[in-house]
Amino acid sequence: MLFDDRLVDQARRVLEICRRAGLRLATAESCTGGLVAAVLTEVPGASEVLDRGFVTYANRAKVEMLGVREASLARHGAVSEVVAREMAEGALARAGVELAVAITGIAGPGGGTPAKPVGLVHFATARRDLPTRQERRLFDGDRRAIRLAAVAVALELLEEMARRPRLG
């Protein structure tokens, strides 16, 4: 098995909540390289809920696949609240689903700066009938630990957004 039982149980819970709510989902991943989509597909029947995963590691991929604005990347950088939001909203629009999560961060071991240290990850969740939400986290550990911690948070955020009642 690729993932520990805790992550697979989280994924199972997300998929069940989405299934009951009639929500299909997409992932938009940078530093996690598709791990959120991978853990979701560890669960049999995931295709009833998971539509697709975008792995947009390069900035060009973020622009081409998700519609992230080049101006946002130039002004804020790929690891930013603005880009996470644009990734999630782009995945929502381009996949035609009801729910999306985006992850962009610095997993290390290099690439960090004082302003954006290794372990910094920005998340966004977008849902058709609710405002987009963002979260910023700073994780400790090596590259693997940071990436797996980001997967766990992404699943938590998906679950939270899927449980929210629709507006209006």
Query: Would 54 be classed as within a structural domain?
Result: yes
Query: Would 36 be classed as within a structural domain?
Result: yes
Identify the band that residue 166 occupies on the pLDDT scale cut at 50, 70 and 90.
confident
What is the distance between the alpha carbons of residues 135 and 81, in angstroms, rounded to a whole number?
A: 8
Contacts 24+ apart (CB under 8 A), 52-57: 52/26, 52/27, 52/95, 53/26, 53/27, 53/28, 53/29, 54/26, 54/27, 54/28, 54/29, 54/87, 54/91, 54/94, 54/95, 55/29, 55/30, 56/28, 56/29, 56/30, 56/87, 57/30, 57/33
Say what the pLDDT of residue 13 is.
98
Q: How many domains in the chain?
A: 1
Query: Would 80 be classed as within a structural domain?
Result: yes
Query: Would 168 be classed as within a structural domain?
Result: no
Say what the pLDDT of residue 40 is.
98
* pLDDT at residue 155 is higher than 80: yes
Average pLDDT (125-148) is 97
* pLDDT at residue 20 is higher than 70: yes
pTM here is 0.97
Query: Would 133 be classed as within a structural domain?
Result: yes
Q: Which domain holds residue 68?
A: 5-163
